[in-house]
Structure 1
Amino acid sequence: MGEFAKGGLLLSAIETEGLTPEFRELVHAAARQELTKWGIDRFSIVALADRNGLPVDEILEFWTDEAALIMDVLLDGAGREAAPPDTGSLRDDLYALAVGMAAYLGSDQGHQIQGSHLIGEPFLDGIEIRRTLWRVRVQRLGIVFTRARDRGELRDGIEPAVVLEMLLAPINMRALFTGEPIDEQYCRLMADLVWHAVRS
């Protein structure tokens, strides 16, 4: 069983025993469509099953609730298996992260899925899903900053989550709000600005 933790509390769970790759991808594909159309706040497993001719009981057998399915889909879409960059320098790692986010947002699916994160209604479940997704992603990328600290590149007291917010927020702003280009030069500029702000 897969779990997503909120602090020390279990937020949602995925039962993987008996879940075939084919059924998982079928449900994921339907869920991605639902998320791009309705967003996180209006996502419903019952509606997903009805619109796609899928057995709702079987979906709930593996994903205990909407939060479990949303997080499974979005963490997978953002690159469940993608390794954090390891270029040997924090400056280039930040650039690689910026380029990776730009490429993800530049794809049709990535742009639509990222747009589903926008907060439409600040109700508790939706907020906690977003916060848990972000915490998991920060945790996965934490090794980038551990290596940088070990190399003496990072100032004391710098939190990885804050560095990632500084780096990725402007890219998301351009992709989701202003539509301005996000090219390699812009990614390098953002990476260098953040690097200068946090380096030792």
Structure 2
Amino acid sequence: MTDSGIRPRPGGRSARVRRAVLDATLDLFHAFGMNGLTVADVSARAGVHETTIYRRWGTRENLMIDALLEEAEELLPVPDTGSVRDDLIAYLTSLVAYLSTPHGNDFDRALAAAGDDPAASQARKQYWNTRYARSGQIITRAIDRGELPDTTNPRHAVDMLVAPLHFKVVLTREPLDPGLPARLVDTILHGLIAPLPRNDHQDAGPL
């Protein structure tokens, strides 16, 4: 009770409606993919009128992206340990764990199989741009700490790290090895070719 004697409603009706709609959206997305998700089905499952959904989200694509981004924020947090290697390994480990679940598999394959109509393309672009902006913070912080050169492109670095995981899930259907995150991170940070060891005569020129 508050001092006025009125019991506050945690979140209120608006929060409960949003939660019900987003949960229904995720359930349907994971069951039927992007192309099979309709606002009418979300409305029926959530027990919320369609006009309420359209008034709040505007389009089916906006609703779907809001739901997927919220799920990603919960399941794929962006760590800040103070070490770029530790941050990247922790992030990729979370991604491996997610993509190894039925929902994670469904998510990757549904986005890959979605059509190329303007609405679907824009939804896909919006989702990935937002996720890149979040995960790219790991690279940006590493640049600020001097761990990486200031010429490093955060999105390019994230691309090279996460692409092998999505490739295995969508194309080769291989299981994701728990040790893969550390191997990918070390490959990207150190490169495929290790620098040659120096010796006393390396810069001496011809004898």
What is the CA distance between 1:133 and its match in structure 2? 0.9
1:195 matched to which residue of 2? 189
Cα pair distance change 1:107/1:71, threshold 3 Å? same
Q: What are the residue-to-residue correspondences of 1:68-87 with 2, within 5 Å?
A: 68-79=62-73, 83-87=77-81
* 3-state SS, counterpart of residue 111 of structure 2: coil
**CA distance in structure 1 between the partners assigned to 2:171 and 2:77 by the alignment:** 28
Among 161, 170, 174, which residue is 2:164 paired with?
170
1:155 matched to which residue of 2? 149
Q: What are the residue-to-residue correspondences of 1:104-123 with 2, within 5 Å?
A: 104-123=98-117
What is the CA distance between 1:167 and its match in structure 2? 0.6
Q: Stretches of 4+ moved more than 3 A in 1?
A: 50-54, 80-83
Conserved? CA contact 1:98–1:187, under 8 Å: yes
2:196 matched to which residue of 1? none
Mapped pair 1:102 → 2:96: yes
Any unmatched runs of 5+ in structure 2?
A: 1-10, 192-207
The one-letter amino acid paired with 1:60 is Y
Conserved? CA contact 1:36–1:115, under 8 Å: no
The one-letter amino acid paired with 2:174 is E
The one-letter amino acid paired with 1:78 is A
Cα pair distance change 1:35/1:139, threshold 3 Å? same
The one-letter amino acid paired with 1:194 is I
Mapped pair 1:133 → 2:127: yes
Any unmatched runs of 5+ in structure 1?
A: 1-16
Cα pair distance change 1:63/1:22, threshold 3 Å? same
1:46 matched to which residue of 2? 40
Mapped pair 1:88 → 2:87: no
Larger radius of gyration: 2
Among 180, 193, 196, which residue is 1:186 paired with?
180
**CA distance in structure 2 between the partners assigned to 1:154 and 1:37 by the alignment:** 41
So what's the TM-score if we normalise by structure 2? Answer: 0.76
1:27 matched to which residue of 2? 21
Conserved? CA contact 1:40–1:116, under 8 Å: yes
**CA distance in structure 1 between the partners assigned to 2:153 and 2:147 by the alignment:** 14
**CA distance in structure 2 between the partners assigned to 1:167 and 1:142 by the alignment:** 11
Superposed CA RMSD in Å reads: 2.5
* 3-state SS, counterpart of residue 182 of structure 1: coil
Conserved? CA contact 2:100–2:175, under 8 Å: no
Aligned residue pairs: how many? Answer: 182
Mapped pair 1:143 → 2:143: no
What is the CA distance between 1:173 and its match in structure 2? 1.9
The one-letter amino acid paired with 1:124 is P
So what's the TM-score if we normalise by structure 1? Answer: 0.79
**CA distance in structure 2 between the partners assigned to 1:66 and 1:178 by the alignment:** 31
**CA distance in structure 2 between the partners assigned to 1:50 and 1:85 by the alignment:** 37
The one-letter amino acid paired with 1:162 is H
* 3-state SS, counterpart of residue 169 of structure 1: helix
